[in-house]
Structures are given as structure tokens and as C-alpha cells.
Amino acid sequence: MKFRTFIATFALFLIVFFSSLLFISVFIINNQMDIIKERGINEHYFISSSFGKDLMAIVDRGGNLGDAIEQLFNFYAEYYQKQGVYLELLSQGKIIYSNLPERSNKLTSYAIEPGIRKATFQNIGDSVYFKVVGELPGTDNRFSIQYLHDISGNLKAWQTTQRILLLVGIIFTIILAVSLQLILNRVFEPLDMVSMASRKIANGQYDNRIIVSGRHELAEMAESFNNMAEEIQRRITQLAEAFEQKQQFVDNLAHEIRTPLTSVYGFAEYIQKTTISDEEKMFAASYIMSESQYMLNISNRLLELATLRNQVIKMKVVDVNSLFEHSQKSLAAKLAENQISLKWKIDIDSTYGDKDLLQSLLVNFTDNAIKACNPGGIIVWNAYIENGCRVLSVQDNGWGIPQNEINKVTDPFYRVDKSRNRAKGGVGLGLSICEQIANCHNAVLSIESLPNVGTIVKLTFTSL
């Protein structure tokens, strides 16, 4: 592209530039020739008129015609020779006097028509002359005057001008070629960078960017390319993260159902192939039912999670005190069983959202807090305004979560302490469902925790 642009621009310049030089050169020589023609015709008229008058005056005073013609010719010839003009006197078509150096000893025949002045260019020897010939007035067409202006100097000057113009043209052509190459390199630099960056992105180097300078159109194009590359990199990162999350989800799900399925199969085979007592059958059946119930819980939670992802909820005013009371009733038995006390503090009367989903979220938060607390632990619910936003929070004084684990606790099937949570009936989907509920409410779920100090889980309503 750059090379073709260079060739096209350079060729167009050469055509226009040298055509202009040729036009200027032709115009100059034509203008000079017109001046020479006009001057020669006027001077021939003036010389022949003066010559004829002077000749008649001498003859009228009784002078000899032949002597008078020779004297007057010598006078006029000497005078005009100083100006590069030569004269020839013709009689009956033959030259009788001439001061032209190249043929001073020659007699040439000319066809002179009476009353007509002829003008033409003629090469004589190494010189070029502008020639005008016409009759000598007052001599009854017996004599004629031939005017010859040596224009060799004008032609040489024109040729010199042509050479100067050609030299100037060559110099300008070289300057243009270098300048054009520099300009095209400058102009096409963003395009070259875009091309190079495109190839790198095509090879998977999504972090490659173009250095943008200036405010011209190509700089804007380069900036747009950077924005496009930024968006591509963001989408690719999202896809990679989504793929990793899906793979992690599949791995976790396979891991979660593998143990209960193995147990169910083992106890079923044990019942089928072994003679066992009724008590042992009851134990095996109970274990099979327990593991089946666990897998059913996983199935229901996954269905709930999938439903929430596609759900658009209708926001309503939710009374916070009523929300806390209903949630406390559903958790009362578990709180009592684990000897955990629950308190709450309400600084806002209400919030907006789906009451059932918010209650599910509050119960999930609290259920996790119960699992994290030792007997005698305390859980506190808070409803307040923070930075202009309504916040619901659940705080416990349990074991806490290591800092490197906080960002992972909302992943499906992720457990900080896998053996302990599994023993308490958790399937590892509670916080994933809570995060989805937060998304349905355009709210932000955040977790602050310190090991052996406790955890605060906050739901911040950013759009209400």
C-alpha cells in the first residue's frame, strides 16, 4: 500500500512537474520568437523606408545611384551590425551587397515578389537567422532589402534555460522522492503499527497496544484499534474465566457426588450379596437414604441457582423488622441446637427487593455463621445506611476465613473446611445462591473476615 502510494504520487508529480517545465520552456521561446518577429518586421520597414528616402534624396540632388546605394548600404549595415542585425541589398533577385560573414563572397538568387514583405527563419552555417525581405521603396522594384537577425544567441540562451530547468527539475525530483518517502513513513506509521498489532493479536498476544500520538485521523484510528483490542482482551479474559469456572464447577460437582454415589453403590451391593441382620439392613438403608437426600439437596440447590440466574424480580418495599423476625423463626431450632445467640440492630425501617429471596439470603448467611461458630457464639444482624446505600449485614465471632480464601467462597461447591461443612450438611452452594440473589437486586455482596475473630457479610443495595 505504501509503495503503491509512493509510486502513484511520485509518477503524478513527475508528469505534472515536467509538463509544467516543458510548457514554461515553450512559452518562453515562443514569446521571444514573437518579439523577434515583431522587431524584425518593424526594423525592416524602418530601414527600407529610411534607405529609400535617403537614396532618392541623393539622386534628386544629382548624385550617382550606384555610389549612393553602396554608401548608404555600408552606413546602415555598419550601424545595425552592432545590434546583431545584418543587411543584404538585392537587385533582380541577386545579392549585390551583404555584410553577412558566412556568405560574404557568395551571390544567391532570391524570388522577390513586388509589394510583399516575407519573413522566415533560416539556418546559415552554424547560425540561425530571422530573415525579412522586401522591396526598397522609390526604386521601382529594382532593389530589395534583406534583413537578417542572428537569433543563435537567443536559441542558446533558451537551451541553457532548458538545461537549468531540467537540472532544477531533477533536484526537486530527488527532494520530493526523499520528502515523500519520509512523509509516507510518517503517515503510514500508525497503519504499520495496526498491521503489526493485528498479527500479534491474531497470534494470541492480546495485551499488545499501539502508541498513539497527535489528534489526526490515523491517531484516532489507532486509538479505536486499542479500544477494540482492549475489548477483545476483556472478552477473551471473561471467556477464559467462564471456562475455568465451568470446569471448576464440573470438577467440584463430580467430586461432590462421587463419594455419596460410591457409598450408595457399596451399601446396595452389601445388602444384595451378603447375608446381614435386620439391624444391619436398617443401618445400610439409613445410610443410603442419607446420601440420596444429600444428592437431592445438591440437585435442588443447583436448580435454584439456575433459576435465579434467569430471574427478573419485581422490587417491593420490604419491612426489615418483619424480615428479621421471619428469618429468626426459621433459624431458631438450629441456633438453639448449636447454642448460638442471635441479636439484631435496625437503623432503617425498610428496604426494596423480593422478601422471600432476601429471607433466603439472610438464612444462608446465618446458617454459614452458625457453622463457623463454636457453642456460645454470637451472631448479629444489622440494617443501616452506609455511604448513602442501604446495607444488610450478618456478623459472627466464629473461626473466620483466611484472606486468600475470601474470593473463592462464592464459587459453587467451594468449602473453606470441607470435612467440617460436609459433616454439618452443607453442599457448598449457599453463598453461590446468595451472590446470585445479590445480582438479582443489583446489590454488591462483600465479605470481611479475620481468622479467629469473625466474619462480616454485607449486602449493599447500590441502586435503591
pLDDT digits (tens, 9 = 90+) for 305-364: 777 776 777 888 999 999 999 999 889 988 999 999 999 999 998 988 888 889 888 998
- Mean pLDDT over residues 55-67, rounded? 81
Q: What is the mean pLDDT of the chain?
A: 83
In tens, the pLDDT along 121-134 reads 888 878 888 888 88
d(CA 284, CA 2): 81
Distance of CA 368 to the CA centre of its chain: 52
DSSP state at residue 403 = G
- Mean pLDDT over residues 153-170, rounded? 86
- Of 433, 432, 459, nearest in space to 445 by CA: 459
Q: Please give the CATH topology (third level) of the domain spanning 314-461.
A: Heat Shock Protein 90 (3.30.565)
Burial (CB count within 10 angstroms: exposed 0-12, middle 13-18, buried 19+), residue 98: buried
Question: In the predicted model, is pLDDT for residue 139 greater than 80?
Answer: no
d(CA 305, CA 428): 12
Which helix (H) or strand (E) segment holds residue 420: the answer is helix 418-423
With a threshold of 0.85, does the pTM exceed it? no
In tens, the pLDDT along 419-429 reads 555 555 566 77
- 463 confidence band (pLDDT: 50, 70, 90): low
Residue found under cell 556568405: 103
Level-2 CATH architecture, domain 1-98+108-162: 2-Layer Sandwich (3.30)
Provide the residue ranges of all domains of the chain, joining segments of one domain with +.
1-98+108-162, 209-310, 314-461
Question: In the predicted model, is pLDDT for residue 4 greater than 70?
Answer: yes
Question: Which residues is 147 bridged to in the sheet?
Answer: 87, 132
In tens, the pLDDT along 367-404 reads 889 988 889 999 999 999 998 899 999 999 988 888 88
Residue found under cell 439437596: 297
In tens, the pLDDT along 235-254 reads 888 888 888 878 877 877 78
DSSP codes of every residue in 269-317:
HHHHHS---HHHHHHHHHHHHHHHHHHHHHHHHHHHHHHHHT--PPPEE
- 458 confidence band (pLDDT: 50, 70, 90): very high
d(CA 414, CA 427): 9
Query: What CATH number does domain 209-310 carry, 1.10.287.130, 3.40.50.1100, 3.30.310.50, 3.10.580.10?
Result: 1.10.287.130
CA 442, 448, 454: angle at the middle one, nearest 5? Answer: 130
pLDDT of residue 322: 92
What would the grid cell of residue 178 be? 526523499
d(CA 360, CA 451): 26
The 3 state secondary structure assigned to 99-129 is CCHHHCCCCCECCCCCCCCEEEEEEECCEEE
Of the candidate ranges 15-19, 191-195, 292-296, 332-336, the one whose mean pLDDT is the lowest: 191-195
Question: In the predicted model, is pLDDT for residue 158 greater than 50?
Answer: yes
Share of the chain above pLDDT 90, in %: 13
Structural contact between residues 22 and 168, judged by C-beta atoms closer than 8 angstroms: no
Which residues are within 8 A (CB) of 201 and not within 5 positions of it... i.e. 6 or more apart?
208, 229, 232
CA 434, 409, 334: angle at the middle one, nearest 5? Answer: 60
Helix (H, G, I), strand (E, B) or coil at 384: strand
Of the candidate ranges 97-111, 165-179, 186-200, the one whose mean pLDDT is the lowest: 97-111
pLDDT of residue 156: 87
Question: In the predicted model, is pLDDT for residue 107 greater than 50?
Answer: no
Question: In the predicted model, is pLDDT for residue 108 greater than 70?
Answer: no
What would the grid cell of residue 348 be? 432503617
- Mean pLDDT over residues 299-304, rounded? 78
Structural contact between residues 358 and 394, judged by C-beta atoms closer than 8 angstroms: no
pLDDT of residue 243: 86
- Mean pLDDT over residues 160-173, rounded? 87
Burial (CB count within 10 angstroms: exposed 0-12, middle 13-18, buried 19+), residue 210: buried
pLDDT of residue 385: 93
